Amino acid sequence: MRKFCRLPIDFNPLTANCTADEHSTAAKKYAAELAKFLSTPQYLSLATVHTYDMVVDDFFSNSLPAEWRSLADLDKFNQTDFVTLIKEGAIAKQWPDSFKTFAQDCLKLALPRAVDLSGDFGECLNGVDALIERKDTVSAGMSRKKLYEVERFSKVIIDMIENSDHQESTTIIDIGAGQGYLTHRLTTCRPCVAIDFDQIQTVGSKKRGADIKKGKFGDTRHSNFSNKKSAPRKEIIYKTLNVDAESLQNLVSDLSSSNSIDGSDTNFMLVGLHACGDLSSSAILGAFQKCPEVKFVAIVPCCYNLLTEPVQPLENPLSVPPKTTATTFGFPISTHVRELCATHHLTLGHKARNLACQNFETFSREDVVTNMRAHFKRSLFSALLSHFKIDTTIKTTGEHNEYCECTEEAQLCRVPKSERKYHKFRLNKVSAAARGGGFVEYAVEALKCIGLEDRISDKDIRDFLELPQFVNAERENFVMLCARSLLSRVLESFLLMDRAVFLLEMDELSRILGGASGINGIRFSMLNLFDLTESPRNMVFVAEKIASSDRKQQS
C-alpha cells in the first residue's frame, strides 16, 4: 500500500514516482488553501447560521453581498440553474461575478468523491458489487446499503491484514460495533473485539452471532454464496465502553497485557465504519499513534457535528494546557491544521461541522427541490413562532462541554451562547400531505404536533405570509441553501484533510526518528470506497505501520 491521497486536480501535482515529502507538501498546501477560503468572513458566516434560523434572522438581507441578493429577484431567479449547479457544477453566465467566483472556488477546492479503485484495493474489490446484487444476499440479514458498506469495507480490511507480516497475530477491534454486521463479517478472517457503549446493541450482536451459527444468515464471502452452511468464525470478545482517546488506549493496553485472545495475539487493527465524531479522529487515530501494539487502522468518518473543537484556536498549536493534549479534541487533530486555524483565527463550530454532512449533490434533481422546499417551510415556521413571540429555543444547562473532564479543557471547549441555542422540537409527525401542500396547511399541522394549535389561527398565518419580508423568502432561501450545499463540500474536505495530514505527520516523524520508535514510516491511503449515492460519507482512511525491520519499500 502506497501513500495515496487523491487531491483536487489543481492541487495534485503528484506522480507515480513522487517522494513522501512531495506527497506531504502537496497535501499541506491544499489544506492551507481550504483554511484560507473558509476563514473568509462572509463564507464562514454562511456556514455557521442554522438552517432554521435563516428566515427569522433575515440572514439573506443582513449577511449576503448585494450582488448575491439580486439572484433571488423574480426576474432573475432560475431554479433550474441552481439545481444544475448542485448536480453538475455548471455555473450560469448571467450570475454576478462574485457568486460565480464563490461557486468556482467551492468546486475547485472540494475533494474528488467519485469511487476510484485504480490504487491499492482494486483487485480485492473486483466482483464484490455483483455479489452484493445477487438476490440471495438478502439472507445476510441487513439492508442492501449496509451490506454494500460492510462487504466493501471488510474486503479492504482483510486484504490489508493478509498482505502484511501480521496476518496470523492480529486481532481486530471494531469500535462502535453496534449490531455487529461488520464484526461478524470480519470474524471469518480474524478474532475481534466488539466495542459499543450500548449494552442493547451488544445483545443484538450476540443474537446475530447465534443466528449465523444456526445458518439463518448466509456468508457473502464467496461467489458460491449459501445460507445453508455458515463459514467458521473466530472468537468475539464484547466490551461495553464509552470510547474516548484515553479509554481506547487503556483498553488496547489491557488486551495486550492479558494476551488471552486466540492464544497469543499482541497486535491490533482498529476499525470503525462510520465512526461518529471523535471516534474516527482523536480516539482511533490517537491510539494508532500512541499504542505500539496497534499496527493498522481503517476508518470511515461520520457525524462531524459530534467532533469536539476548541472554542478559540490555540494561540500556540505546539503548546497546550496542562493535563491535556492537543489530540484531546477531535478537530483539529494534526499540527499543521492547528497552525492554520491559529493563523487564520478559524473556528468552525458545531453548525459548520454539521453543514459538512449536508450536501445535496447525491439527491435527484426532483429531491433537491423537494428538500429545499421542506427546509424553507421549517425555517418559515420558526419565523412564524418568533413573529408571535412563542419561544422556540432552550439553553443547555451548565457551562461545560460534556466531553470535557479537566478544568483546562472545559475552559477551552466551553460552548458559547450562540452554540448553546438549539431547536427543541421535531416535526416528524407532520403528514406527507401537509409537507407537500402550502405553508398554511403545513403550519396548522405543525402547530398541532407541538400542542400550540390554539395560539395561532389560520387567518394569523395567512396575514403573516403577506408581510413584506416574507414575500420573496422562498427564493431567497433557495439561493442560500444552494450556496451552503457547495460550501458543505469544502467543509468536509477540510475535516477529512485534517486526518490525512495527521497520518502524513506521523509518517514524517517516524522517518525522522529513523526507526528509533520501532516504526520506519506509515503506509497510508485515503480513498473513496463507496459510491456517493449508496453512502454519502464515502471516504476511508487506511494505514499500516512499517516496522523498522520491514523490507517492504515505500513508494
DSSP class per residue in 473-528: HHHHHHHHHHHHHHHHHHHHHHHHHHHHHHHHHHHHHHHHTTTTTSEEEEEEEEEE
- The C-alpha atoms of residue 305 and residue 355 are separated, in whole angstroms, by 8
Task: Please name the helix (run of DSSP H) or strand (run of DSSP E) that holds residue 543, with its range, or none.
Answer: strand 539-547
Whole-prediction pTM value? Answer: 0.88
- Please state the rounded mean pLDDT for residues 431-448: 92
Burial class of residue 105 (count of CB atoms within 10 Å of its CB; 0-12, 13-18, 19+): middle
- Please state the rounded mean pLDDT for residues 501-510: 92
Q: Which of 117-121, 206-210, 467-471, 486-490 has the lowest mean pLDDT?
A: 117-121
**Residues 11-61 pLDDT 10s:** 876 555 677 788 889 999 999 999 999 999 999 999 999 999 999 999 999
For 511-514, which contacts have Cβ atoms below 8 Å and span 24 or more sequence positions? 511/20
- What is the pLDDT at residue 553? 45
- What is the pLDDT at residue 160? 93
- Single-letter amino acid, residue 447: L
Q: What is the mean pLDDT of the chain?
A: 84
pLDDT tier at 544 (50, 70, 90 boundaries)?
A: very high
Collapse the DSSP code of 121 into the 3-class scheme (helix H, G, I; strand E, B; otherwise coil) and give the result: coil
Beta carbons of 205 and 180 less than 8 angstroms apart = yes
Locate 549 and state its grid cell.
525491520
Domain boundaries, the chain: 50-111+361-488
- The C-alpha atoms of residue 282 and residue 343 are separated, in whole angstroms, by 22
- What is the pLDDT at residue 122? 75
Beta carbons of 350 and 403 less than 8 angstroms apart = no
User: Per mean pLDDT, which of 175-189, 219-233, 485-499 is the most reliable?
Assistant: 485-499
Locate 69 and state its grid cell.
441578493
- The C-alpha atoms of residue 154 and residue 121 are separated, in whole angstroms, by 12
What is the percent of the chain where pLDDT is above 70? 82
Q: Which of 208-217, 296-305, 402-411 has the lowest mean pLDDT?
A: 402-411
- The C-alpha atoms of residue 527 and residue 113 are separated, in whole angstroms, by 8
Q: Which residues contact 411 (CB under 8 A, 6 or more apart)?
A: none
Q: Which residues pair with 173 in a beta bridge?
A: 193, 270
- Please state the rounded mean pLDDT for residues 221-239: 64
- What is the pLDDT at residue 47? 96
> Which residue is it, cell 516504526?
519
- The C-alpha atoms of residue 241 and residue 247 are separated, in whole angstroms, by 8
Buried b (16+ CB within 10 A) or exposed e, 317-331: beebeeebebbbbbb
Beta carbons of 175 and 155 less than 8 angstroms apart = no
Q: Which of 98-102, 191-195, 312-316 has the lowest mean pLDDT?
A: 312-316
Q: Any alpha helices (H) in 334-467, and if so which ranges? A: 335-343, 349-355, 365-387, 407-413, 417-420, 432-436, 439-449, 458-465
Strands 519-528 and 539-547: antiparallel
- What is the pLDDT at residue 274? 93
pLDDT tier at 139 (50, 70, 90 boundaries)?
A: low
Torsion of CA 353, 355, 356, 362, to 10 degrees: 160
- The C-alpha atoms of residue 275 and residue 245 are separated, in whole angstroms, by 13
Q: Which residues pair with 298 in a beta bridge?
A: 271, 542
Residue 143: name the closest of 92, 197, 179, 94 by CA: 179
- The C-alpha atoms of residue 409 and residue 488 are separated, in whole angstroms, by 28
Whether the per-residue pLDDT at 399 is higher than 50: the answer is no
Beta carbons of 382 and 53 less than 8 angstroms apart = yes
- Please state the rounded mean pLDDT for residues 288-304: 95
